[in-house]
Amino acid sequence: MNNSLRTKKIKDKAFELGFSHVGVSKAGFLEQEARQLEDWLKNDYHGKMSYMENHFDLRTDTTKLVPEAKSVITFIYNYYSPIKQNDNEAPKISMYAYGKDYHKVIKKKLKELQYYIIENFGDINIRGFVDSAPVMDKAWAKKSGLGWIGKHSNLINKQKGSYFFIAELILDLELETDIAIKDYCGTCTKCIDACPTDAIIKPYVVDGSKCISYLTIELKDEIIPDEFSGKMDNWMFGCDACQEVCPWNKFSSRHSEPLFEPPLDLINLTKKEWNELDEEIFENLFKSSAVKRTKFKGLKRNINFLNT
């Protein structure tokens, strides 16, 4: 079977599993991205995410993650939902965390695709990744033609906007590669202008230590720094500010994944109820959610900070 037919069969199976778009690129070293990452780390834009300093060689070269890797298949999975929390004054949760933890949902689909590939093409060395290893997912998505990196540092797809998850399969099988597309941001600066904490310090460069997603999820300190008081735009977990204003998200369409639907209990909670949140309610609401990353203590810290 030739590379073209192999690639088509894999993509068709991926679409059957619910992935929105699929792209393929040749495995190897990300030279330009390695330089950019090095500069980003030197400027301490990773804040207290010390893990970003680890495994630099693995992060920038897929053949170090999967020996003799020949191809990187990148997938995007839509999570856009028009549903909003009912109380406009309630602290906000980023849309990606509305439903079940995407790591588990997508990992299951990747496993199924892995079995399909091995069953059809032989005993192949293959690994799947969903934020689970040092893989530069946006770089590989860009390289495989799934979109371009916007000025807010998120991947933008011309058909779907930017509300999607990214996943990869890295494997030692040659496939037909796709072609990267150009940047369509033009002179637009809406995402930069809308960032509540001025975390996008210049086009395409985000100071992660100022990002609300970092402050509400990654930062494990007892308190959020006072300099961000009044600047959190009522976000208690993650932030969608830069995506909400992006003109390309007018093309976003509702996802078709039942597991990403938010529970009514979550959508209906009022500001008062969030302020009175206890650990039992937290565990019930978020038992299978990405929000559990903050733990109860962390989410309470975030909610309390919004009230200062």
Q: Which of 61, 87, 101, 131 is catalytic?
A: 131
* Nearest alpha carbon to residue 74 among 156, 170, 183: 170
Query: Domain spans of the chain?
Result: 3-82+98-171, 190-254+262-306
Task: Give residue 107's pLDDT.
Answer: 96
Task: Give residue 308's pLDDT.
Answer: 86
Separation CA 65–CA 171 (nearest Å) = 10
Amino acid letter at 296?
A: F
Amino acid letter at 44?
A: D
Task: Give residue 249's pLDDT.
Answer: 98
89 DSSP assignment: T
Asked if residue 221 lies in contact with residue 134, where contact means CB atoms within 8 angstroms, the answer is: no
HSE, CB side, 13 Å, CA atoms: give it for residue 112: 13
Catalytic, 87? Answer no
Task: Give residue 281's pLDDT.
Answer: 95
> Consecutive sets of 10 residues in the chain, 308 residues long: mean pLDDT of each?
92 97 97 96 96 92 93 98 96 97 96 96 94 90 98 96 97 97 98 98 97 97 97 98 98 97 95 97 94 96 96
